[in-house]
């Protein structure tokens, strides 16, 4: 099947109040030697107020292949990504941002990948700070982190199904709505063209202000206030089915940030629990391998202690028993024969027994004659 770049590639650029940066990437797109200058180009203007709208209206009048769509309100940068999905009409699409630059020196490689009609994701950007590996999954984990940058890939549009767009809207709060599309392609074993190397990339990443509050003057939802891109990425991994791929992504993400895994998850759960976002913890836990899960649990136990320490509403429970059994799935199990238990702030009960046995994930403890204890670390 023949490929015509002007008929088969949609270019959509999302923008808000970056007129100077925007003019730079527009000059790249419309340059005399640009291979995409005659493609259908759509600008989604998020109700800009700095002259961006007037500039885009002017060039849309000048070029027949350029469309300027100005939203009535600022719907947010991440919502504008999903809105871009709704305007895709061609076989492939490339969503660009207003703070990046383009270099077409090695475009022929991208064009050959498009022309071959073999690939569902065509990578246009790579980051040397993200380590790769020898296996396909290791290379794929690197790619997943890199294409969090929106323009870092061109996508085949057939994957933009109703549920993908629905999931993308839901994932706006995690700051990476396009992970819904990426996950759909990965889960269906889509074909991927990997960028040859850092010196072969097309997208030159910009360095502008880029956050969820851009253009928002008043209240920001607590879910988003407690979110950053690295955590949003891990939350988004819940849409990926391959467990090995997920923890390889986590390992590369924390390495990219220059952190150990304990440091990576050190403070995040504390603030989430504090503002009531406990439901975000399990998707991250589920994405970890066994070693990472153990570190995660240790941190959660520390946080639990911190909250108990400063909790003014202390709950104490004291009871006498002849036989006491207590079990929490496979994590905690205890049995006590003739004794009493003491619980504070709903923590695991402390047993004082004629004979008691406790098995935790980290230790086994025997209690004899109420005061003698033997602890074996696992």
Quote the pLDDT of residue 150.
96
- DSSP tag of 238: G
pLDDT of residue 224: 73
In this prediction, residue 1 carries a pLDDT of: 62
How confident is the model at residue 146, as a pLDDT?
A: 95
The predicted pLDDT at position 210 comes to 47
Q: Are strands 153-156 and 121-123 parallel, antiparallel or unpaired?
A: antiparallel
Over residues 157-173, the pLDDT tens digits come to 999 999 999 999 999 98
Taking the complete model, does pTM exceed 0.85, yes or no?
A: no
- pLDDT surpassing 70 at residue 371: yes
pLDDT band at 364 (very low <50, low <70, confident <90, very high): confident
pLDDT band at 60 (very low <50, low <70, confident <90, very high): very high
Average pLDDT over residues 275-279: 58
Q: Is the pLDDT of residue 229 over 60?
A: yes
Which pLDDT value is given to residue 301? Answer: 74
Domains and CATH numbers, the chain: 9-217 (3.90.550.10), 229-311 (no CATH)
What tens digit of pLDDT does each residue of 282-339 get? 777 777 888 888 877 777 777 766 666 555 555 566 677 787 777 665 556 778 888 8
Per DSSP, the three-state class of 209 is coil
pLDDT in tens, 64-84: 999 999 999 999 999 999 999
According to the model, what pLDDT value does residue 194 have? 96
Q: How confident is the model at residue 281 (pLDDT cuts 50, 70, 90)?
A: confident
The predicted structure's pLDDT at residue 212: 44
CA dist., res. 186 & res. 143, Å (int): 11
| pLDDT per residue as tens digits for the range 180-224 | 999 999 999 999 999 988 889 999 875 545 444 455 556 777 667
Share the mean pLDDT of the chain: 85
List C-alpha distances in Å: 56 to 27, 59, 95, 204: 12, 5, 17, 22
Task: Band the pLDDT of 97: cuts 50, 70, 90.
Answer: very high
Query: Per-residue pLDDT averaged across 334-352, rounded?
Result: 71
Q: What is the pLDDT of residue 105?
A: 96
CB atoms within 10 A of CB 334: 21
CA-CA distance, 174 to 158, in Å (whole number)?
A: 24
pLDDT for 245 beyond 50: yes
Decide: residue 360, CB within 10 A, 0-12 exposed, 13-18 middle, 19+ buried.
middle
pLDDT at position 129 is 86
pLDDT-above-70 percentage for the chain: 80
Q: Where residue 345 falls among pLDDT bands split at 50, 70, 90?
A: low
The pLDDT value recorded for residue 5 is: 97
Nearest by Cα to 270 from 302, 228, 310: 302
pLDDT at 275 over 70: no
Q: Where are the alpha helices (DSSP H) in the chain?
A: 5-8, 19-29, 52-62, 77-86, 107-116, 136-146, 162-170, 179-187, 222-225, 229-236, 243-256, 261-264, 268-274, 281-286, 290-309
Q: Is the pLDDT of residue 28 over 70?
A: yes
Q: What percent of the chain has pLDDT over 90?
A: 51
At 18, the pLDDT band (50, 70, 90 cuts) reads very high
Q: Is a pLDDT exceeding 80 seen at residue 100?
A: yes
In terms of average pLDDT, the best of 128-142, 194-208, 256-270, 280-294 is 128-142
Buried b (16+ CB within 10 A) or exposed e, 252-284: bbbbbeeeebeebbeebbeebbeeebeebbeeb
């Amino acid at each position: 099947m023949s490929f015509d770049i002007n008929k088969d590639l949609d270019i959509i650029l999302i923008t808000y109040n970056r007129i100077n940066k925007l003019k730079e990437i527009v000059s790249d797109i419309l340059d005399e030697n640009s291979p995409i200058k005659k493609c259908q180009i759509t600008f989604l203007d998020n109700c800009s107020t700095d002259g961006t709208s007037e500039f885009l209206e002017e060039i849309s009048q000048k070029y027949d292949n350029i469309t300027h769509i100005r939203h009535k309100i600022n719907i947010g940068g991440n919502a504008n990504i999903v809105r871009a999905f709704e305007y895709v009409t061609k076989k492939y699409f490339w969503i660009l941002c207003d703070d990046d630059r383009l270099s077409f020196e090695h475009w022929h490689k991208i064009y050959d990948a498009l022309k071959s009609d073999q690939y569902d994701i065509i990578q246009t950007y790579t980051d040397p700070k993200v380590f790769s590996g020898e296996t396909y999954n290791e290379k794929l984990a690197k790619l997943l982190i890199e294409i969090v940058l929106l323009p870092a890939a061109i996508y085949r549009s057939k994957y933009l199904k109703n549920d993908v767009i629905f999931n993308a809207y839901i994932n706006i709060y995690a700051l990476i709505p396009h992970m819904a599309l990426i996950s759909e392609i990965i889960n269906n074993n889509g074909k991927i063209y990997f960028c040859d190397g850092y010196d072969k990339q097309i997208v030159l990443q910009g360095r502008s202000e880029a956050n969820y509050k851009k253009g928002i003057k008043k209240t920001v939802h607590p879910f988003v206030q407690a979110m950053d891109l690295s955590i949003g990425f891990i939350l988004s991994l819940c849409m990926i089915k391959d467990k090995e791929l997920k923890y390889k992504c986590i390992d590369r993400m924390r390495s990219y940030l220059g952190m150990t895994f304990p440091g990576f998850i050190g403070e995040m759960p504390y603030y989430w629990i504090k503002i009531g976002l406990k439901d975000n913890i399990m998707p991250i836990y589920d994405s970890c391998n066994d070693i990472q899960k153990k570190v995660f649990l240790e941190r959660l136990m520390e946080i639990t202690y911190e909250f108990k320490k400063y909790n003014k509403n202390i709950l104490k429970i004291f009871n006498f028993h002849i036989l006491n059994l207590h079990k929490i799935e496979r994590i905690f199990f205890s049995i006590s024969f003739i004794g009493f238990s003491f619980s504070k702030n709903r923590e695991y009960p402390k047993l004082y027994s004629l004979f008691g046995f406790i098995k935790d994930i980290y230790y086994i403890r025997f209690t004899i004659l109420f005061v003698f204890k033997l602890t074996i670390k696992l």
